[in-house]
Structure 1
Amino acid sequence: MLSVLKKDLKTFRQDLKGQDSIFYLGLAFIVLYYLRPQVIIPGLEVIPWMEITILLGFLAMISNGRLKVTGTHFLVFLFATLAVLSGLNSLYPSISSKYLTTPFIFALEVLFLSNCVKNVKQLQLLLVVFFLCIFKMSLFGARTWISRGFGFAAWGIQGPAGFFQNSGEFSLLMAMCAVLSIPLILYMKSKTKLYWLFPITAIMTVMAASSRGGQLALLVGLIYLLLAYKKIRFKNLVYVAVFASFVWAIVPDAQKARFETAGSDQTSETRLEYWSAGIDIAKEYPMLGVGLKTFPEHYDRFYKVKGGGYLSNRKEVAHNSLIEVVSTLGVPALVLYLWFHFSIFSSRSLLKKHKDPGQDLVFLDSFRISLNGAVLTYFVGAFFMSVTFYPYIYFLLGLAIARVRIFREKERENSVENVNLIPKPYI
């Protein structure tokens, strides 16, 4: 087992050598974003590492003719433009003005990430580095849950400072990454089971987070994988039922009670009020909404019943990304936001028309399933969280654009090879 891991590590190090500078900057971007050494190590935070990395990356891409802009990029930037226009026309300009750069930052990150890998090998290496960064978080979450005796905590679990500090957002990241990793581990067909530690610890972290939205999102993602791999057979259903029974048995009673009261408890009723108000806001301001990031303020002024409960004195977000978008950015922005999900999801297998597809296409098809499962997981989680301007969907968009581009380049290569194999007639 360890010998296999040692051999894989050696191969990984060898594959990392000799890559181009753009790819290395892409790896630096992943490490800075998810491992965050600039925050962990004292004194490093004074330098804007992320901005420098992205700027150098774009300069290298332009000088090497590697910066490719697709229709998907255009629509991401269009969404960012609508968000900024909403901010400029906001009913609460003092709030929206603080976030005017955020939409374009995410759009630039999509453009950067999608162009920093040029082939299957680089995409694989980038994913390995990403999963290693996330494994640090999932291991922490699993250890926390074990230290509680697999018990329930009302506050869930706190992630690293930043986007994933809140328990709900942290659980969604772990759910997405667990689903994203499973098809790729299956593709590897490794002789060691150690790689399964990553999705297992990520799933344990979702359980520790005590977030119903994150747990439901994980369940939907795992069910999709069963359907994608055509594993819905009687024998497999028995295995799933046994596993589900085991998981349900170790789920704390307090967590079970939260699912049993879903829809009727105070938290659920309050969120239904948010969603109803968000729909009303969208009807009143359909084009650009009430303004970027202003749902809490608008709801507090016009919809909240003061003194009505433990949340009556707090300004809360919509707790639904669709409601957040349509109420603050408008209906056109919602259409684009929904389109992001469809652009990531692909139901067309890459292997059906190939008798001998080769390992690269097999990997890309496994990655297609990974992205499908991850975006479904995100969509379900985002239905219960306001995470429009969080990294999740933009990270998946960057990877999806890169996958499509690499696949098309492989198809062109195969077409050229097939043409060259056709015998030339004698003259």
Structure 2
Amino acid sequence: MKLSMVGTGYVGLVTGTCFAEMGNSVICVDIDENKIEKLKQGIIPIYEPGLESMVKENYKKGTLEFTTDIKEALKKSDVIFIAVGTPQGEDGSADLQYVLKVAQDIGKYMTHKMIVVDKSTVPVGTADKVKETIQKELDKRKVNIPFEVVSNPEFLKEGSAIEDFMKPDRVVIGAENEETLEVMKELYAPFTHNHERFIAMDVRSAEMTKYAANAILATKISFMNEIANICERVGADVNKVRIGIGSDKRIGYSFIYPGCGYGGSCFPKDVQALNKIALDAGYKPRIIQAVEEVNRDQKRVLAQKVIKRFGEDLNGKTFAIWGLSFKPETDDMREASSITIINELTKRGAKIKAYDPKAMDEAKEFYLKDNPNVEYTQSKYDALNGADAMLLVTEWKEFRSPDFDEMKQRLKNPIIFDGRNQYNIEKMNKKGFEYYQIGVPESI
């Protein structure tokens, strides 16, 4: 098929590249000329395992193109995906200005029958707004060109997005007629032929499915962190509780790991957007609001453990931070727990020596650029030199089995605050470490 993908961010670039991989002709469109030129040179704006080689290969074959000209892209396409950002507004709602601008351009420049696909995460009712915007432009032109607006929410996990797209749990399509559904079914057939994963529904239900999916996963995380905080206070070990409840097939082990709270581009934004959607509809979503509140507080828990151990005045103290990105296998630092933790410590006078395999450039350029008390090191061990303690914030693989003897030599004090409960308490105590976890009483 001939497709256009408007927006070359995380969702658009991964989606467009994976469609191209299956032999479709895909044109990726973006208003950022610099980004488009870099993509043509094989320079990828995000880190995602496997993406760079796939982009280069498909661009070389000609199945993947990059342009800033949406008018030209529309001429060559039968299906156009809207995959632009929906940043969070001040009131928590999703800002649709970029989505509707693309819709306006589609109405201005389309020349033949089109299927318009909302791929961006958008509130319920957005497809109607997109349809109205396109129709308004067609009316101005006094032309009658048929088009359909489809909702196709994405369910990609950063760090495994290629795998998620190639072997999806489900493909959700919200459409109003069978002909459009059949086109979308054909488009996704290479990804769903082993099992029937194609789920058709009405447009509004599809729009809601994305928010509901992310909200329930965020709820599991916040619920487990709440249990962890209770465990610490009643003398229970959350690591054992997790095994006990996860063995129940109705619950499972996914998303019940206690930690420093969730971050990233989706969960925080989508939970708050769903809260706003509910409030606008006249309903107070108490569970959704609690999920957000628990997560906001959880991001401070590791810093609070440090403050309890070293005191409120951290002048003269240095702490090593292992991990900056919101999760492993990505350089994404949006809403990362590390930002809150570092700011909590440095505002009390602490110095930070930070290491992350992929996210340090992001930290320097965007998220911690105004914090002069943060130093970045070339390796995880260099971050430990002369530090009063180490804080493990992101569970990258290279942090799983470190040389603990090397760590003891480099740290000023053999103290670890483990925000991901990676290590075994008994073994750490035997090795002579003062060791703190999430959801485990200090006496254990």
Query: Which one has more relative contact order, counting CA pairs under 8 Å at least 6 apart?
Result: 1
Q: What TM-score, normalized by structure 2, do the two folds share?
A: 0.28
Q: What TM-score, normalized by structure 1, do the two folds share?
A: 0.29
More helix by share: 1
